[in-house]
Amino acid sequence: MTTPHLPGQPQLAYQGDELFMEQVRLSDLAKEYGTPLFVYSKACMLSALNAYQQGFSGREVQICYAMKANPALGVIAVFAQAGCGFDVVSGGELARVLAAGGRADKVIFSGVGKTRCEMRQALAARIACFNVESEEELEVLNEVALSMGVRAPISLRVNPNVDPKTHPYISTGLKSSKFGVAHERVLPVYQRAAALPGIEVVGIDCHIGSQITQEGPYLDMVDRMLDMVEAIEKCGVHIHHIDFGGGLGIDYNGETPPDATQLWKKLLHKLDARGFGARRLLVEPGRSLVGNAGVCVSEVLYLKPGEHKSFCIIDAAMNDLPRPAMYQAYHQIVPLRCPNRDADATWEVVGPVCESGDWIGHDRALDVNPGDLLAVLSAGAYCMSMASNYNSRGRAAEVLVDHHQSHLIRRRESIADQMRQEMPAPESAGSAAT
């Protein structure tokens, strides 16, 4: 029997015939906490962060974890303790950073629809920078800052019109996208920003997309950003920092994205060659810091062999793992106990949700029986953060593994948790019982 391929996850390995995350047997966690269960490796997250730190060594840089990838307080705390800043996109995310011990002065705030209330919250916390995405947002932020007697530090998120060559739903740097300020409006908007009394220009920002697996789009983006910085500074506006966004892909199914250490070394050469080597730099990685650090452990409920397709029904569903349904994404699925023979059947691995779109993997060769435990891999990013209560299913529990220890960082959502915010509607007068 060949051991299943475990993409990009050095902390995940079979020991004997059992799957371990670091020094913890995953089936023990399933027994203790139930399934579906998300399990994250602290060492894997820190080693992914280390790749960025190595790539930027000797430079003035702030790595801002894009916490939308995985906003668990226990995950944020790992990065905060390692000196990370955070890229947030809502008041809720900012509150999470502060609750987990992150520093407000290392927070940048992205997003096309910041409300006045969120702006006030972020100004009161004294965050490092707002990544402003439109001319109207700039005017509103100016008003809000003046009303509080402060100046708002800003970058403009510019849209460089670079194709990141990834799934269309996660491409953000094209002209047709809702994100950022169009290339041709960048100069007048910077001039306007510099003239507004409630605004302090501190940088420039861009983010072209997610799950990028080629270095070409990054290299193009860097060239365009540096062209823009030169043009803006010629107009007399100083750009203190350059933020290159996030987007670096991971290995889900044999993809070979550039390694952060190597990619950033190459990009820094470009900066040096154009005289920007000493500039303060920011990056906003999400998926590449947590994606391969996580798995979702799930139990096989039923097997339903059929003439055309055979279904393996597991207890995790599209509400826990929405990426296959949303982006036709591939996640590797492996057994927790390495089988002693090759699979002789292929299965549609599906969840219990009442939708045909509720699939986790198509045509997977697995030797499975009801009651077996499976791990859905590369589930650390954009799984729990996009999980829902669809079909009134409670969201899964989350565990952080650290060497031989495991810590519950989020308990399983109960039915009472789900109903806590709701109240019965009053009976209408006409329908009252007589």
Task: Return the active site residues.
Answer: 354
Residue 292 binds ligand LLP (CB under 6 A): no
91-118 residues labelled b (16+ CB within 10 A) or e (exposed): bebbebbbebebbbebbbbbbbebeeeb
46, 22 in Cβ contact below 8 A?
no
* All residues at 6 or more sequence positions from 102 whose CB lies less than 8 Å from its CB, including other chains: 76, 79, 80, 84, 85, 86
Which residue, 198 or 246, has its beta carbon nearer to ligand LLP?
Answer: 246
| Binds ligand LLP (CB under 6 A): choice among 22, 87, 118, 358 | 87
User: Among the residues of 39-115, which ranges form H helices?
Assistant: 42-55, 73-81, 91-99
User: E strands along 288-332, which residues?
Assistant: 294-304, 311-314
Residue 285 binds ligand LLP (CB under 6 A): yes
Q: What angle do CA 91, 326, 376 make, to 5 degrees?
A: 95
Least Å from the CB of residue 321 to ligand LLP:
10
Residues 308-327 that bind ligand LLP (CB under 6 A): 323, 327
Helix (H, G, I), strand (E, B), or coil: what is residue 419? helix
| Binds ligand LLP (CB under 6 A): choice among 22, 118, 137, 284 | 284
> How many residues sit in the footprint of ligand LLP (CB under 6 A)?
20
Residue 286 binds ligand LLP (CB under 6 A): yes
**Distance of CA 145 to CAs 70, 105, 121, 130, 205, Å?**
30, 17, 11, 12, 20
- In angstroms, the CA 214 to CA 263 distance is 10
Least Å from the CB of residue 345 to ligand LLP:
29
Residue keyed to tokens 């502060």: 98
Give me the torsion for CA of 42, 266, 245, 123, rounded to 10°.
90
Least Å from the CB of residue 146 to ligand LLP:
26
| Binds ligand LLP (CB under 6 A): choice among 20, 347, 359, 382 | 382
Least Å from the CB of residue 317 to ligand LLP:
16
Q: Which of 88, 49, 50 minimizes the C-alpha distance to 71?
A: 88
Residues 3-42 that bind ligand LLP (CB under 6 A): none
Query: 12-15 and 18-21: which strand pairing?
Result: antiparallel
Residue 288 binds ligand LLP (CB under 6 A): yes
Least Å from the CB of residue 288 to ligand LLP:
6
Residue 55 binds ligand LLP (CB under 6 A): no
| Binds ligand LLP (CB under 6 A): choice among 70, 161, 210, 298 | 210
Residues 92-151 that bind ligand LLP (CB under 6 A): 110
**Cα-trace Rg, the chain:** 24
Residue keyed to tokens 């939308």: 68
In eight-state DSSP terms, residue 393 is P
**Region binding ligand LLP by CB under 6 A among candidate stretches 215-223, 279-287, 293-301, 362-370:** 279-287
Which residue, 134 or 210, has its beta carbon nearer to ligand LLP?
Answer: 210
**Region binding ligand LLP by CB under 6 A among candidate stretches 24-32, 252-260, 284-292, 424-432:** 284-292
| Binds ligand LLP (CB under 6 A): choice among 71, 102, 173, 247 | 247
Residue 66 binds ligand LLP (CB under 6 A): yes
Least Å from the CB of residue 286 to ligand LLP:
3
Which residue, 212 or 373, has its beta carbon nearer to ligand LLP?
Answer: 212
Q: CA-based diameter of the chain, in Å?
A: 85
Residues making contact with ligand LLP (CB under 6 A):
66, 69, 87, 110, 170, 207, 210-211, 245-248, 284-288, 323, 327, 382
